[in-house]
Structure 1
Amino acid sequence: MPESPTPARFDAADPLGIDELLTPEDLAVRDTVRAWAAERVLPYIADWYERGELPGIHELARELGAMGALGMSLKGYGCAGASAVQYGLACLELEAADSGIRSLVSVQGSLAMYAIHRYGSEEQKLRWLPGMAAGETIGCFALTEPDHGSDPAGMRTHARRDGSDWVLTGRKMWITNGSVAGVAVVWARTDDGIRGFVVPTSLPGFTAPEIRHKWSLRASVTSELVLDGVRLPADAVLPGATGLGGPLRCLNHARYGIVWGAMGAARASFDSALDYARTREQFGRPIGGFQLTQAKLADMAVELHKGILLAHHLGVRMDAGRLRPEQVSFGKLNNVREAIDICRTARTVLGANGISLEYPVMRHATNLESVLTYEGTVEMHQLVLGKALTGLDAFR
């Protein structure tokens, strides 16, 4: 009888052996993004967060573009054409640094670039995508309005015909990258239904005042968009999208990145708690030697690595063309909720130090409160899954 192979040594950083599911190319992408974040974000992020700024955003965007992280899973037009799993790993590493950095990449690639790539004309793709992939042009995606978040069908922003032109009027709210963007993908109501428009932000009537006084995503540019009779040529409309299906498909693509990204924030918080538990002494020994602390660490590790395994499973399905929107809702609902719980538990391990920006835990916890809400609240994803499970629509 042949001998069973000797199991690999238990790895506290990878207790389920998930790295064995990754290809050498996957690992190279992960390690490249991790190294960039360690050099360009982690030494400065606490200060950026405390100041409520993301300085040098254009330089960071160009560096991310040079790394192939913008529009990463798109093909052609200067995009990297990476796999969904590789894009997910990049999102995890970026959000392990800060949710604001991952949001910059998600909005650029999975919303603005994805909308143009999937629904745009060849002329629109050639005009915008290469510069966006390189980080030379930052994009934003404008769907949410001051009075319409979870129900975008109620949007009031409208576009009317004036000869061959379009005239765009309305307001959008909570728009990541808005005040630094060179191009905005704006969704508006028309006589023919909801349409998407590619809007250069330099046009008269377009303004993007930055939203201040945030206590979450502080190292991220968040803006209101005001569209006061912005005149656009006929070819500004995205020809491939009519109705809400267009923007909702874009959001689904971005949510997939969040499934991975939330686990990055959770991992950073867990790692901080684990390191602290090994070195912080109370009652004559490290607190990691006490049963209650070990129970917390074990529970956090279980949910963290289950979440990463779920994200990888969804990535494999996306690469195979088999990922359904309901499955993305499953991942977003589970992973963001569990990430917040991990951060909160990690904070208790650090005690009073858990509220200090000397450690990443509170920063990640407050960021995740925004991630929990944007691109589908908990309640909306519960209803998506509820409808899928029962066949009954509870939205209205």
Structure 2
Amino acid sequence: MALQISATNPEHPALLLELPWHLPLEEWPEEILVPLPRGISRHVVRYARAGDEVIAVKELAERPALREYELLRDLDRLGIPAVDPLAVVTGRADDGGAPLESVLVTRHLGGSMPYRSMFETTMRPATMHRLMDALAVLLVRLHLAGFAWGDCSLSNTLFRRDAGAYAAYLVDAETGDLHPQLSTGQREYDLDLARVNISGELLDLEASGALHPSVDPVEFGMEICARYGALWQELTRTSVYPAGKYHYIERRIRRLNELGFDVAEMQIEHSSNGHTVTFVPKVVDAGHHQRQLLRLTGLDTEENQARRLLSDLESWMATQDDYAPGDPLAARPEVLAHRWVRDVFRPTVRAVPLELRGSMDSAEIYHELLEHRWYLSEHAQHDIGLDTVVEDYVRNILPKARATLEPTLPE
């Protein structure tokens, strides 16, 4: 067979052609390799430079290489943290014509480290807890997307610092399967594999003297099960709230946001004993809320403002009689959003006197009012109406804020 390069970007084949595909990866010359730390792998893996890209090259049979390449592309489309697939190279042969294994090419994840490199100096237990948290979040995200990993472990994960915490990325999808939805058995099987793999990897570190003496490998293997279970419950449970307890719903949304998930859909059904609220969590891309709010309402805001306003809009829409998702005869979201802007957003913002707003724009004013409503409702343990919120905000909050922001003039 002739050498074939299947790539996601038309520019990549030309860059990859410069690499010595006629040599097994173990024999690639040092001058083209990049000295980056590598984790344990059942396959030969090398880091190399292709143009301005640093790439990871993994040698494996053609069929699993093509399959893993497609799975990684699927995960990329789903917004799952994983390495970025660039190409599959097939039809390799050495100078004598003997066939060589195919390779999977992925982009090196900048700033990431395999777990063994992180344990070169004995890691504190608190840091290890954060690694387990990051891996549990990754596994939950995969399962929400319908992906059964089949080999969750520290070795198949890369870790990158993320604002004081760690973010985990899938680096090996060879054993994975993508389904419309996972069964409880499929999820529990993945979780049990993770527990066994992690305990084994930590026992290996303990034997080499690289594990903190206070760390029990078996207990840490169990920790991912507990962390996963808490996350899965928070993300997927159906909650019943009494009527008039809107701030309970908002509390739930805040917890999900703190866990790194955004509520892309929120379904509210009225029942005899209150409101049944079902959340469908989905990790969304940067700027998602800005674009969605602009499309629905015409309001151009910052991302955090947009997230806050969209949550209020979606909750308000669910209380409208003509709101029925999926019903072709019901009011369209754009129509309801226009009504919210006209009947809720604008009147509320206008109720705050111009002379007290300072440099705050309308979106920031409304965001501040929503924050104040949350505070008042939590304190009172029942929902507070926006009219009362505006009155209290103008009387008690804005004067203090302006006194703090305005400079003191010399006498």
- The TM-score bracket by the shorter chain reads under 0.3
**Greater Rg, structure 1 or structure 2?**
2
Give 1 or 2: higher helix fraction: 1
TM-score, normalised relative to structure 1: 0.23
Greater relative contact order (Cα < 8 A, sep 6+): 1
TM-score, normalised relative to structure 2: 0.23
